[in-house]
Structure 1
C-alpha cells in the first residue's frame, strides 16, 4: 500500500534517503515550485527538542544561505515548521543543492591518493574557506565526510553552519563527538572547548591534507577524548615518516597548519593556498630545517604550560584517555606544578573574598557580564554558567559583526537573581533594503517608491525615446529586487518626451513623411504656389527647425506645386 509523499512547507517533496550522520538525515527531494531536484537535510528529532539549538541552527542556516561560491554546496532555503502557524512538530530542515559525486572520505577509503589529486582537493577546500571566512562564517567541522568531489572533479564543501550549531550546543568534547562522530579533525582550541575562529578550519584542513598524504590521521586513540588530548599536547609525525612517497616539500606545510597555537598557523586560507602551491614545485627541507621548524611550532613556550593545564582540567577526569608517547612530556610536569600553585592561590583568594563579602548581599545575586561583541553562542554559555536564561532577539547593526551581541537588557554590571532572564540583542548584520521596480514608472511615482524603500534619488538624465511619454523611467543604476544599504543613491534615466527632428529639406515628400512618422511626429504636407514645381515633389521648407521637438508634434512639410502642363 503506497503512502502519500512527505511535503515540507507545501513546497519541498521528500523522496528517498541518500545519506545520514550523527545529527541529520539527507534526502533526495523536489522543489515543487521551481521544478528542480534538491537535497533536503532534516535535523535529528532529539536535537530538535533543544530550543537553544534550534535558534542557533536557524541563525547559521541563514548565514550559509547567503554564500554563493562554486566550491560550496549552495543552501537554497531553511525552515523550522514547528514555529509556523500550522502547529506541526516537524524538525528544522535545510534545502540544498543536489550534488552528484563522491565523498572525499570514500575516495580516501579506496586507497592511496595521488599527490596531485591530494593537493587539488585541499586547494578546493581552502578556496571555499577563503570565501566563507571573508563572509564571516567559520565552518568548524572540516573533514572528508563534509567534502564532495563531483563527477567532473570539482570540490564542494558541505554543511556550513550546521556544524557550528552542533559544536556550540555541546558542553564537552565527549558530547560533541557523539553528535559529529569523530574528534580526529578537531583543532586544539575546539578540543579544549575554547572559542574558535577561522584558524580552526585551517587546522582541520591540515589534518585532511595529512590523511590524504599518509592514508591516516595524525592522531589516533581508543576514544574521542584520547584523540582530543593528543591534538592539544602531542607533536605530529611528519608525513614523510609515515609515507616515504609523500613529497618532503609538503612536510613544513602540514606542520605549520597543525600548530597548536593558532597564531603560529597560516593567518588565513589564502596564505595556506599560496604556501601549498609554492611547495608543490619547491625543494624538500633538510632534516635539520624540518627539526628546527618542529621545535619552533611544538617546542616549549610560555603558552605551553597554560594550554596543558587547561587540557588537564577538562580531560583528566576521563578514564578513556590513551597516549601514544612512552612517557609524560616535561611541559606536563611543570604544568602540574603550575596547576597546584594556581589552585592554592584560588583557594586563598576565595577564602579572602568570603571574609570581605557584605552580609546584605544575597547568595543568589548575579551580575550580568559584559557580552558586547562576543558571539551569541558564547553569550548563552556565559549566562548559563551564571544560572541565567538568555532570550535572543535579532537586530540589524552596521557596527557589530553578524552573530555577535549588540547589547543586553539588563546591561552589563546589573545585579540580577538566579534564574532571571537576560535579553540578548544579536546582530543580524548590516540592514539592507530591496530596490523596487522602477522601470516604466513615472518620475514622480519612482521618487515615491524610492522614498518608501528608504533610498535616495540621485541624478536624473533625460534621453529621447519616441515610444515613451515624458518622465517615464527607462533605466535605474540599481537592479530591481537587489538588496542594498539604506539611503543608497539611485540614479535614473527618464524619457524626455522629445525626439530629434532631422532636416528633411530637399527630401522627396514620400521619404520625408516616412521619416517623421518613424520618429513619432505627424507630417502635414502644404503645397506652395509661388515657386517652380518639381517631379517628384520635394520639401522646400519645414514649420519646425531641426533639433528636439515634442513627441506627436505636427510638422508642416512645404513643397512646390507641380508646374502646369
Structure 2
C-alpha cells in the first residue's frame, strides 16, 4: 500500500516488530518454565514435609529390655525415640535393680516420642527376717528390719538367763523365716530376770546342776539347819521360793536338814538306888543315932517281930 514512509525504513520497522515479538515469547516461555519449577519444588517440599511428619508419627516397635540394668534399659528406649518413665515392682524371677517389663510390652508398636513405662525389680516379694537380730539392742533390731523391707510390730518381754535387759531374745514370726515384704515383725525383748525353779527334795548335786543350767544360770548356797522334821541331808526349803523372778545370776539359798545331836544318857553313879528313897534314908539315920555303935538295938516292947538289920549305910562321899 502507499505510505509516506520510505520503503527502506518501513521494512526495517517490520523486522523490528517481528524481533520484539520473538523476544517476548521467549521471556514468557522462560517465566513459565521458572514458574513450573517453583511449583514443582514447592510441591516436593510440601510432600516431603508431609512424609516426614508421617514418618515421625509412624509407630515404632518397643525394644527388648528384660533383665537389663536400669541405665541400659533407659538408653535402649530413648534410642528408639521413646520417652521413659520408671516404676518399681516385686519379682520372684528377676533379680533386684534389673528390668522386668515395659508398658507397652516388648515388640508392641508405639508412636515415636510417646512414653513407655519401664518396670524395675525390687527383688522377691518375700523377705527373710535376719537371724542375727538375737542378742542385739532394740534400736539395732529396728534398723535391721527396716533395711530388710519389714516393719516393727508389737514389743513384748520375756525372761532370759543370758541376754541383757531390753535386748532381743527372738521375733514373731521366728528368726530366719520368710514373710511378705512390708510385713510387721514382733520383737521379744529380755526382762533381765530368771524364774527360780523347784530344787527342794533333790540331792545337792541335782540342785546345783538345775540352778546352774544354761537357761537358768543361778548360784546355789546350802545352809545346814538342825531339824527332826526331815531326814538328814534333805533339801526342804529354798529362798527365793520357786516360781519367783530374780535378777540374772542371783543366789538361791537352800536349807539342808541336819539331824539333832542325841541327849546324853544318865550314869549309875549319878542316880540313887532304886530300893532307897529319901524317907528310908532318914529312918536309917535316926536308928543309928538311937542305938549304940556296933550293937543291935533291943527288941521293942511290942509283940511285933524284931527289927531286921538294914543294908549297910553309904557315906556321903560314896554317894
**Do the structures match in fold with TM over 0.5?**
no
Please give the range of the TM-score, normalised by the shorter of the 2 chains. 0.3 to 0.5
Greater relative CO (CA pairs within 8 A, separation 6+): 2
Larger of the two Rg values belongs to structure: 2
Query: More helix by proportion, 1 or 2?
Result: 1
- TM-score normalized with structure 1 length: 0.27
